Chain A
């Protein structure tokens, strides 16, 4: 009996191998032409990446030259339905992060299950931040202090689309922000603060602590030609270390909602975003940690852009202006007075010169202001190179 089984197992292996060889050669025939367009895909391996090299020059100060980000994308398709995607990020040359690492399982048409280290779908930039997809060298400031891009955590969930009504959806359970921890002296320290809200609480999948899951969802509507609308939501508690689980104020509650719109018609493009974040128990948190975290964070931006080159040209020269207003102290509780330095307004204007699809040279100037009387922020000139392939 055993011999028979071994014989058939062998036969099975041989026949599978044969089938694969046949299939591969057919694929090669089918895809010979596409191989020219994309050499990556057919072997199952995808290689890509993006990078930003920038020069920031504030008024009357020394400038900074930096390889701000270099992100390498690798994907592997195990079969028609199962794919692994990862992005390895080098920040400022020396810091290495994993920006994404997830498995996507295409269960049915327009329906996927996904798990791993993923981007939280909130607003535009957190998911779409390749340098050729946005104007200006720096991401909108709103997408730094209110939506803490690149915001990624470990989680799982579903995504897909209702094709007939042109609606895409994503819904995930994520690990949340870490709000507090005990330092080596046993003192309670807080990670979240007034100047940049939740940003310092990102755990990024690095030996993250989890005490309660959070929930994120986004809907994208693209049924009107040239227009794309997004509605995002995020709810949950922050995380803290074991010892602090029952300490009042060690965790706070977060509700974040975002609305975004992108429009393009021939040479004209526009986009805008509004984000409102409500934080609960910030008074307890501030008392416990001595921080100055606001109880609401709010911001918006609007951007208009025009390609000054005719559309028949392969290159694009885009002139743009973006106006942003954002406040990480939109409201405060527990006697914490609003810090007007956190109520900011940026106007960014400049050019994006797309030498080829995927290569952009950017130059822009940022006028920065806040609500504080007499506290003049330094305006800044930015020049940079961005690539995406």
Chain B
């Protein structure tokens, strides 16, 4: 009987997991909330997911999935935006967060989860600080605008590329009046 019970529990938990995976995973959501609180110095806020039509999405390098780009709102006014995604490292992927103010200028960037030994230096706060204050008018050049990290080339380049791709996505979204 125990086997049956266990199986049912497992089935149920799998079902729940399947449903939940349309949203941000819990551990990521928790980190995102924490970073928003710190960066925007606000205790309560709501996240409103941004969706775009398929037509617009086709033009974007970084696709907007409905669960990677959010408006940060408090009492109906927009304080900023949060973008959460994955980018490749040498042999795995890392999760990162980019917080933008309501003028779409980067307020904070953070590596949420890094999964391999190689390249983990990109989690360094000092290094990530280089993205702060940048916006879509800056196409960032790795090694010039963003100082390189020895021994973490692949991941540091990947993070820079991810931010550049986000910038070009934001530009298109602005043109389409999506944001």
Contacts and interface: CB of A to CB of B under 8 A. Distances in A.
Contacts of B161: 37
A245 interface: no
A152 interface: no
Given A37-B158, A110-B120, A222-B121, A262 B4 contact: no
Contacts of B65: 29-30
Interface in A138-164: 159-161, 163
A82 to B, nearest CB: 10
Nearest to A226: B147
A114 to B, nearest CB: 8
A224 B22 contact: no
Contacts of A226: 147-148
A9 interface: yes
Interface in B103-137: 113-117, 120-121, 123-127, 130
B59 to A, nearest CB: 12
23 contacts: A4-B4, A5-B3, A15-B14, A19-B14, A19-B18, A30-B67, A31-B86, A33-B63, A33-B165, A36-B61, A46-B90, A106-B115, A133-B151, A133-B153, A159-B117, A166-B124, A168-B121, A220-B121, A222-B121, A223-B126, A224-B126, A228-B150, A357-B153
Contact of A12 (B11, B21, B121, B123): B11
Scoring B8, B117, B121, B165 by chain A CB atoms within 10 A of each residue's CB, the highest score goes to B117
B71 interface: no
Interface string A4-22: 1100110110011011001
Contacts of B15: 15, 19
B174 to A, nearest CB: 18
Contacts of B11: 11-12, 15
A112 interface: yes
Contact of B114 (A22, A26, A110): A110
Nearest to B148: A264
Contact of B62 (A22, A33, A104, A127): A33
Interface residues of A, number: 68
B7 interface: yes
Contacts of A110: 114, 120, 123
Given A33-B61, A33-B62, A37-B88, 11 more contacts: A11-B11, A12-B10, A19-B17, A40-B88, A46-B92, A83-B92, A225-B147, A262-B151, A264-B143, A266-B144, A266-B147
A22 B22 CA distance: 10
A26 B21 CA distance: 8
